[in-house]
Structure formats: C-alpha cells, structure tokens
Amino acid sequence: MAKNRKPAGQPATELVATAADVLLASLRCHGFEYFFANPGTDFPPMVEGFARAKGSGAKVPRPVLVPHENLGVAMAHGAYLMTGAPQALMVHVNVGTANTINLLANAARDRVPLLLMAGRSPIMEAGTFGARSRPIHWAQEMFDQAGMVREFVKWDYELRNPAQAGMVVARAVEAAMAAPRGPVYLMLPREPLSAPAGTDKATEPRSIPSAAHPDPAAVARLADWLMEAERPLLIASSVGRVPEEAHALARLAERFGLPVVAHTPRYVCLASDHPMHHGFDPGPFLDDADVIVAIESDVPWMPSIKAPGPSARIAHIGEDPAFLRYPMRGFPSHLSIAANAGAALRALETALESRARNQQSRLEGRRAWAREQAAGLRPMPRRSRRST
C-alpha cells in the first residue's frame, strides 16, 4: 500500500493499493505459490506489499529468499518439474539479471515457464516518488536491459504504468504457458511499481491457448509409413514431461513393434525394462532403419558420427518440431507434425490400429525382431554368489 500523496508539504491521509500490491495478488491468482527473490534497492515496494498482505490476510505468493540468482532459477526450474505450475523469480536490476543467464539458458531449452522479474534503475533523477536515491542508480541503467536475456525468453516487457500491474502478469503467464512453454522477462521500474494502481483487485487469469492438434492427414501418412516399414525406429528425447506421454509411447511401441531409443532424454520417456527400449544411442540402428520418427528430439542423432541411410523416411513430432529457436538445425525431414507429443502418439495409435487388423502375423514378427535386438543390448544378469 502507498499513502495517498497530496501536493508537497501536505500530509498523506489514506492508504491505497500500489502496483506492487496488485502485482503480488495477481501472481497468486494465477497459481504462483512461491516468489523466489534475490533483492536489491528496487524491492521496497515488493517488501511493503508482502508486509501489508501479511497484516491484512490478502493472498500472495510465499516469499523465498535465495542467496544467488542462479540458485533462484534452479529452484524455480525444479519447482516447475515437480508441480507443472509456472514459477516466479525476481532479481536486482541488470546485475541480478546477468547472474541468471547460465541457468536461464537451461530453462529456455527445457521449456520452463519461468516469470523472471527484475527491477530497473529508477527512471527519474528527482521530483517523483521512487526516483533515484543512490549513486549506483546511474551506473546500473542500461540502454537495453532485456537485451541480455532476449535470446532465452519468449516475451519481455517493462511496466510503464501502475494501472498495468495485473494486466502484465496475465500477459506474462499467457506467453510463458502457451506451447511451447518457456521463460518470460518483466522489468519493474521503481516509480510505477510504487505508485497507486487505481484498484486493489487482482487480474483474473486468461485461458491459455490450446496446443496444436495433430493434423489427421499427416498422422495417416505416418501410420502408412510405419505399417510398411521393416525396420522402424522411434527416437525420443523430451517425451515424458507428464506421465501420459510416457504411457502413450510405451503402449504404441509394444502394440506395433516399434523400437525406441531414448537419446539424450530429459525425462523418463520409457521404462528401461520395456521390451521395446533399445538403449540410448541410435547409432547402431540408423543404417537399417527405413522409417525414423523423432519425437520431441532436438538432436536425434549426431550427424558427424552416424546418420540414417539415404532411403530412410524421416518424420519429426513435437510442439515445435523444427526447433525454430535454434539458429541452425539441418536434420532431414520428410514429414513434420506440430502437436503435443501425447496427443500425437495417441492419434498415431488410433490410425495404426485400423491398419493393423489384417497385419497381426507381420507385426508379431516385427515385435519378435525388436525384442531380440533389445535383449542383445542388455547386460547378462549376474550369477548370485553361493553362501559359504
């Protein structure tokens, strides 16, 4: 809260909600349980907001003080993996932002919906509440503070008016949670953050855009390829962010005799004892594979070491199957399906089911071959020692 400020020399009379108060309330309204923070001179409005909420019983995130910005990003990253909910971290102006960059890069590539907030050197030198009050406020100002992180965020913005406080939270969450998910960056200058917001109400969440649904024609084409294939191969990397994806992959692979290589996996995409699990290196299978499906795999193989044969048909499945945030990525693609992995795998299972009714003996032969290949990759069980 801020005092309702009167002209110079006259006392303030009442408390009104500041932009910081509304921002904190809006964060909680959008599902943020924690507010990770490594503070500096840009934080007084936030500190006051937490104190006022404690006194009034208003719902705000739980503040968590962290001793270094990298640790803050790591904690937010881990909290997202555990909960599936977006996370918030606020750091100190440009220097705090700079300290996040190492792990922010990881969060970006892992598609973590992190709302990274940072103060900004006060805009005004004098004459406005929240204006510059320390010599460092001149040295810390940058021409483009967000430029440091723009490679790793989907959206960046600077709070320009206190009336926007709730709206920027809604927009930030909308951007972070839209597929493919990722970090966003919000700068909070001290003057608008300290100013009356004009309301004390949190902004309600917006509906997050639904993920792209797999194109039925593309799924049908891929199903035809897989039914014709003698030596198919699935390569999965970021499948398994939610259990339903791993279950869909396991069911598809088992039913239709589709070997799976978990190449540089970010999650457990397939149980290691699954009969179709073919290890973690696609290299030994690339020469013979006639259809390869890369599922949420940014680097399905290492082209400098081993590549598929020239006649292999290659498909990519994922929310961004071309990985357009990567400046250069040259893996061949004869079919590309933009969709959530779980939805695409379920659609593919349905398409294969209708095609497999008269192909059971052929599929059983392919399953037997795949099981034999997988068994050859597993170490022999140790013989137990006899007790003496």
pLDDT above 60 for 359: yes
pLDDT above 50 for 77: yes
Q: Which of 194, 229, 254 is the last residue of a domain?
A: 194
What CATH number is given to the structural domain containing 307?
3.40.50.1220
pLDDT above 70 for 352: yes
CB atoms closer than 10 angstroms to residue 354? 9
Residue 6: predicted pLDDT:
46
Helix (H) or strand (E) holding 185: strand 184-189
pLDDT above 50 for 387: no
Spatial distance between the Cα atoms of 131 and 194, rounded to a whole number of angstroms: 10
Give the CA distances from residue 315 to residues 219, 294, 335, 342, in Å, rounded to whole numbers and listed in that order: 10, 6, 5, 16
Residue-wise burial string across 199-223, b where 16 or more C-beta atoms lie within 10 A, e elsewhere: ebebbeeeebeebeebbeebbebbb
Spatial distance between the Cα atoms of 257 and 242, rounded to a whole number of angstroms: 23
Is residue 2 in a domain? no
* Region 234-253 average pLDDT: 96
* Region 43-68 average pLDDT: 95
**Structural domain of 240:** 216-377
Residue 285 sits in the same domain as residue 371:
yes
What CATH number is given to the structural domain containing 51?
3.40.50.970
pLDDT above 90 for 178: yes
Q: Are 86 and 113 in contact, with CB atoms under 8 Å apart?
A: yes
pLDDT tens digits along 209-226:
998 899 999 999 999 999
Residue 177 sits in the same domain as residue 147:
yes
Is residue 261 in a domain? yes
Strand partners, 235: 261, 294
Residue 165 sits in the same domain as residue 249:
no
Number of domains observed in the structure of the chain: 2
Give the CA distances from residue 111 to residues 66, 152, 191, 214, 238, in Å, rounded to whole numbers and listed in that order: 22, 10, 32, 20, 10
Of the chain, the percentage scoring pLDDT greater than 90 comes to 79
Is residue 199 in a domain? no
Is residue 52 in a domain? yes
Tokens of 223: 């199903």
Least trusted range by pLDDT, from 86-95, 113-122, 375-384: 375-384
Residue 250 sits in the same domain as residue 338:
yes
With cut-offs at 50, 70 and 90, classify the pLDDT of residue 202. Answer: confident
Residue 378: predicted pLDDT:
61
Q: Please state, rounded to an integer, the average pLDDT across all residues of the chain.
A: 91
Spatial distance between the Cα atoms of 1 and 49, rounded to a whole number of angstroms: 6
* Region 12-28 average pLDDT: 84
Residue 176 sits in the same domain as residue 231:
no
Q: Are 3 and 59 in contact, with CB atoms under 8 Å apart?
A: no
Strands 313-318, 335-338: pairing is: parallel
Residue 187 sits in the same domain as residue 226:
no
Q: Decide which of 15 and 261 is more confident.
A: 261
Question: Cα 324–330–336 angle (5° rounding)?
Answer: 60
Least trusted range by pLDDT, from 150-164, 189-203, 296-310: 189-203
Residue 254 sits in the same domain as residue 177:
no
Q: Decide which of 212 and 176 is more confident.
A: 176
Radius of gyration, alpha carbons of the chain? 26
pLDDT above 50 for 44: yes
Phi, psi dihedral angles at 293 (to 5 degrees): -120, 110
Tokens of 11: 């006392």
With cut-offs at 50, 70 and 90, classify the pLDDT of residue 385. Answer: very low
* Region 30-44 average pLDDT: 95
pLDDT above 80 for 383: no
Residue 61 sits in the same domain as residue 150:
yes
Residue 381: predicted pLDDT:
46
Spatial distance between the Cα atoms of 161 and 189, rounded to a whole number of angstroms: 10
Residue 14: predicted pLDDT:
52
Is residue 109 in a domain? yes
Residue 315: predicted pLDDT:
99
Residue 171 sits in the same domain as residue 302:
no
Is residue 382 in a domain? no
Residue 379: predicted pLDDT:
54
Tokens of 46: 């936030």
Helix (H) or strand (E) holding 374: helix 360-377
Residue 135 sits in the same domain as residue 262:
no
* Region 161-186 average pLDDT: 97
pLDDT above 60 for 251: yes
Is residue 206 in a domain? no
Q: Decide which of 262 and 374 is more confident.
A: 262
With cut-offs at 50, 70 and 90, classify the pLDDT of residue 186. Answer: very high
Spatial distance between the Cα atoms of 352 and 127, rounded to a whole number of angstroms: 70
Of the chain, the percentage scoring pLDDT greater than 70 comes to 93
Is residue 207 in a domain? no
Least trusted range by pLDDT, from 13-17, 282-286, 351-355: 13-17
Residue 353 sits in the same domain as residue 237:
yes
Q: Tokens 């993996």 appear where?
A: 81
pLDDT tens digits along 291-326:
999 999 999 999 999 999 999 999 999 999 999 999
Residue 155 sits in the same domain as residue 252:
no
With cut-offs at 50, 70 and 90, classify the pLDDT of residue 388. Answer: very low
Residue 380: predicted pLDDT:
46
Spatial distance between the Cα atoms of 331 and 339, rounded to a whole number of angstroms: 19
pLDDT above 50 for 9: no
